[in-house]
Amino acid sequence: MESEKLEQVWRTVCDQVKSYNNIDPSQINAFFSRLQPQAMSEDFLMLTADNDFIKTWIERHYVDFIKQALMDLYHTAYTVVIEVDITAESSTGGQPRAETRAETPVQNPPFEGRPPFGHPSPGAPSSGDMRNSADAIGGRDERSPGEEPHRRREFAEPDSGRDDFPAPFNAYDDDDGGEGPDGPTSTLTFENFVIGDSNRMAYSMAVAVAEMPGKAHLNPLFIYGKSGLGKTHLMRAIQNYVHETMPSLSAIYVDSAELLSDYMEASAAHDKEKSSYKNFKTRYEEADVLLIDDVQYLQGKKQTLDIVFQIFNKLTGQGRQVVLSADRAPKNIDIDERYKSRFNSGGTFDIQPPEIETKLGIVKSFVEEYKDNEGKADFAIPDDIQMYIAESSSSNIRELKSAVTKVIYQMTFFNQPDLSLDDVRSLLENHFSGGPSKRLTIADIQKEVETFYKVSHADLVGKKRTRNIIYARQIAIYLSRQMLDLPFNDIGKKFNRDHSTVMYSVTNVEEKMKESRELREELEALKQLIREI
């Protein structure tokens, strides 16, 4: 079959699959964009995936749907074969090929990466397990989540003594989980990581490392971003994937605080011949994949850093994989320059605050997981309430999850299934961090900046490049980023600028603030005016 016709047939099959009940079209967009049709005959279809992870996932969860679509369209039983395109995998490091992405029927789906609803990921806890564990990821009691004070009387607070509260699926959480620092963590997988533009590159690189640990250009892999954006989820997903697909390899995850505590215990007697010290070092030196979380906490801990550096050099020198995470880039961690250089010597990728679309996707994923785990197929949170939660929450996904949990509790356990948007605003009025600033918009900030610097809105978002307009524009962009915690792309749309221009503006203001006390005071005055809106 000609290539162009084959592509058309494949698009038709994709559309047919998306039309089925219990299929989320955004999942099809996400996963099927990683497939390429290669050959088709009367009863045979061959597809290639760009890595083994995608091949396995499609075979587990979507092949039957593809066969059904072919039967419905052509009234013939088809054999569907999926192979890995080795050239694509090696050339992209596990990322989708550019040409495949270009052929995706719908670009930039709002969320990706979860298993289709009704198909739990391998090893995922049952609904009973989820109910018995107040937090499905970390095991901590979060049955009355979020900030408590000053709730309106008509909204009852969850009784922390009850043990039957549901624990909606936690797609993002930087808490660790599972069975200890080197145990399996089946709830944190690549399948249930919600992908968006803000984390797509970090996700792709984590998948590449999980599939082929020790590749020089990604060793070490360094992932950084603010707390609650999913760094630990990706690290645990790597560990989980290695445990599942390469059980002969040792994959050890450790948080820096735990690592520091272990080291202090092992070296308490300052005797490096003690068996406890040897056991401490040997455990990490024998890892095939070592994942160290929150390395910024090792600032000022010179002896621990020296040991970590020795272990780091030994493992990478032997071609074994090291993965590190922090809440900031290596260059911004206050450690010796040689550590920064080595930490930055492989692949360094950041996770930005999620876009509104991604946050909305996460909200939907929580709701769907609650429905699946509790067997409540008819349960629904109205779209306007879901959007309100996505728009009002900060970049921290724990806060978003907690808000969804509160709404679910109110609707189910306190028998208020018809909550209105106004009801939810009251319920969550003290929930979101940042208080009133979270109700601000970019338009509010633009208006105050325009008044403060005496420039028009048309000039602020237009093409004029006189010095005073550029200055006001960069200040407005900086404040939008700092006060609203929005992604660069979202800010850029409101200023008719692209992602790189917004990044430059923010960085430029930050650099000038270091040198100018006057600018710092000016910005504080502006922030105060904006907060008073």
State which of 138-142, 215-219, 443-447 shows the largest mean pLDDT: 443-447
Q: Could you tell me if 186 and 122 are in contact, meaning their C-beta atoms sit under 8 angstroms apart? A: yes
Question: Alpha carbon 489 to chain centroid distance?
Answer: 17
Q: Could you tell me if 201 and 96 are in contact, meaning their C-beta atoms sit under 8 angstroms apart? A: no
Residue 91: inside a domain:
yes
331 and 397 part of one domain: no
Does the N-terminal peptide bond of residue 220 adopt cis geometry, omega within 30 degrees of 0? yes
Tell me: pLDDT of 116 over 50.
no
Output the CA angle 49-288-279, nearest 5 degrees.
Answer: 160
67 and 93 part of one domain: yes
- The burial class, CB within 10 Å (0-12 / 13-18 / 19+), for 290 is buried
Query: What gap in Å lies between CA 122 and CA 262, rounded to an integer?
Result: 32
Residue 212: inside a domain:
yes
Q: What is the mean pLDDT of the chain?
A: 76
323 and 399 part of one domain: no
Query: What's the number of domains the chain is made of?
Result: 4
What is the CATH classification number for the domain harbouring 234?
3.40.50.300
- The residue from 102, 127, 147 where one domain ends is 102
343 and 210 part of one domain: yes
Any residues with CB less than 8 A from the CB of 494 and at least 6 apart, and which? Answer: 442, 443, 446, 461, 480
422 and 449 part of one domain: no
Tell me: pLDDT of 148 over 80.
no
Count of beta carbons in the 10 Å neighbourhood of residue 3: 9
Convert the pLDDT of each residue in 394-425 to its tens digit. Answer: 777 878 888 898 899 889 888 888 889 989 98
408 and 387 part of one domain: yes
306 and 380 part of one domain: no
What is the CATH classification number for the domain harbouring 377?
1.10.8
Residue 136: inside a domain:
no
Stretch (H or E) spanning 449: helix 442-453
Convert the pLDDT of each residue in 421-438 to its tens digit. Answer: 989 988 887 777 654 444
Reported pTM: 0.50
Mean pLDDT of 237-257: 91
User: What are the DSSP calls for 473-509, one per residue?
Assistant: HHHHHHHHHHHH---HHHHHHHHT--HHHHHHHHHHH
Q: What are phi and psi of 227, to 5 degrees?
A: -60, 140
- Higher-pLDDT residue of 262 and 92 is 262
Q: Could you tell me if 105 and 11 are in contact, meaning their C-beta atoms sit under 8 angstroms apart? A: yes
Q: Could you tell me if 488 and 504 are in contact, meaning their C-beta atoms sit under 8 angstroms apart? A: no
Query: What gap in Å lies between CA 43 and CA 45, rounded to an integer?
Result: 7
Any residues with CB less than 8 A from the CB of 330 and at least 6 apart, and which? Answer: 222, 224, 339, 340, 343, 344, 348
- The burial class, CB within 10 Å (0-12 / 13-18 / 19+), for 76 is exposed
What is the CATH classification number for the domain harbouring 50?
3.30.300.180
- The residue from 399, 427, 455 where one domain ends is 427
Is 438 annotated as belonging to a binding site?
A: no
Structure tokens at 97: 């090929």
Q: What are phi and psi of 177, to 5 degrees?
A: -155, -165
Residue 160: inside a domain:
no
226 and 264 part of one domain: yes
215 and 324 part of one domain: yes
Query: What pLDDT, on the 0 to 100 scale, is given for residue 435?
Result: 43
Give whole-number Cα distances, 233 to 129, 177, 227, 280, in Å. Answer: 20, 10, 11, 25
Structure tokens at 202: 């970090």
Convert the pLDDT of each residue in 6-53 to its tens digit. Answer: 888 998 999 899 888 878 776 787 778 888 898 888 888 889 887 777
Tell me: pLDDT of 118 over 60.
no
Q: What is the span of the domain harbouring residue 405?
A: 354-427
Query: What pLDDT, on the 0 to 100 scale, is given for residue 482?
Result: 84
CB contact burial 318-346 (16+ within 10 A = b; e otherwise)? eebbbbbbbbeebeebebeeebbebbeeb
346 and 208 part of one domain: yes
Query: What pLDDT, on the 0 to 100 scale, is given for residue 293?
Result: 92
Query: What gap in Å lies between CA 145 and CA 405, rounded to an integer?
Result: 8
Question: Alpha carbon 433 to chain centroid distance?
Answer: 19
Query: What pLDDT, on the 0 to 100 scale, is given for residue 101?
Result: 32
Output the CA angle 334-340-346, nearest 5 degrees.
Answer: 145
Convert the pLDDT of each residue in 287-297 to its tens digit. Answer: 999 999 998 88
Q: Could you tell me if 67 and 77 are in contact, meaning their C-beta atoms sit under 8 angstroms apart? A: yes
- Higher-pLDDT residue of 4 and 433 is 4
Residue 58: inside a domain:
yes
Query: What gap in Å lies between CA 346 and CA 218, rounded to an integer?
Result: 5
Does the N-terminal peptide bond of residue 158 adopt cis geometry, omega within 30 degrees of 0? no
Residue 115: inside a domain:
no
204 and 332 part of one domain: yes
Residue 320: inside a domain:
yes
Q: Could you tell me if 394 and 482 are in contact, meaning their C-beta atoms sit under 8 angstroms apart? A: no
278 and 406 part of one domain: no
Query: What pLDDT, on the 0 to 100 scale, is given for residue 192?
Result: 80
Is 230 annotated as belonging to a binding site?
A: yes
- The residue from 319, 350, 381 where one domain ends is 350
Residue 194: inside a domain:
no
Query: What pLDDT, on the 0 to 100 scale, is given for residue 128?
Result: 35
Beta strands in 142-250 (DSSP E): 221-224
Can you state the percent helix, strand and coil of the chain, rounding each to 5? 50, 10, 40
Tell me: pLDDT of 326 over 50.
yes
What is the CATH classification number for the domain harbouring 474?
1.10.1750.10
